[in-house]
């Protein structure tokens, strides 16, 4: 099955892979409780990004990312998630996944989702 989605910024058509990437970004950057008709949609990742950057927070962010994607994106299987940081304070999540639907089932890929940039 192929999906044709809509780009949230431009309104143009998206291929199924780009639609999945957009969906992953949307899920991970939407705080739970923000959507009026879907209060449980999103992830706890935005709530965690201002926590102290230690091993516990890293695990919580990775867990929040994987849990949300497993719940809200049925077209993929998550194989790994990593919280990465830079010396300037930038944070991002690298998520590895595999397609489990349609003619491209088995295709793998990684998505980098920025969470916080350097502060001025």
Q: Return the CATH number at 26.
A: 3.10.450.40
Domain count, the chain: 1
- Segments forming the whole domain that contains residue 18: 5-116
**Model confidence band, residue 120 (pLDDT cutoffs 50, 70, 90):** very low
Integer-rounded Cα radius of gyration of the chain: 15
Which pLDDT value is given to residue 85? 86
Region 34-61 average pLDDT: 91
* Mean pLDDT over each residue of the chain, to the nearest integer: 86
C-alpha distances (whole Å) from 24 to each of 32, 51, 58 are 14, 22, 19
Tokens of 10: 């431009």
Region 92-97 average pLDDT: 92
Q: What is the DSSP string of 22-66?
A: HHHHHHHHSBTT-SSS-TT-SBSHHHHTTS--SHHHHHHHHHHHH
Q: Whole-model pTM?
A: 0.83
């Amino acid at each position: 099955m192929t999906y044709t989605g809509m780009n949230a910024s431009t309104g143009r058509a998206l291929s199924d892979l780009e639609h999945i990437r957009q969906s992953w970004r949307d899920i991970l950057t939407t705080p739970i409780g923000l959507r009026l008709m879907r209060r449980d949609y999103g992830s706890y990742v935005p709530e965690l990004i201002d926590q102290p950057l230690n091993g516990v927070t890293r695990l919580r962010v990775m867990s929040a990312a994987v849990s949300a994607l497993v719940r809200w994106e049925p077209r993929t299987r998550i194989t790994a998630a990593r919280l990465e940081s830079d010396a300037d304070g930038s944070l991002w999540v690298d998520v590895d996944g595999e397609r489990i639907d349609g003619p491209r089932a088995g295709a793998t890929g990684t998505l980098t989702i920025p969470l916080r940039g350097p502060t001025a």
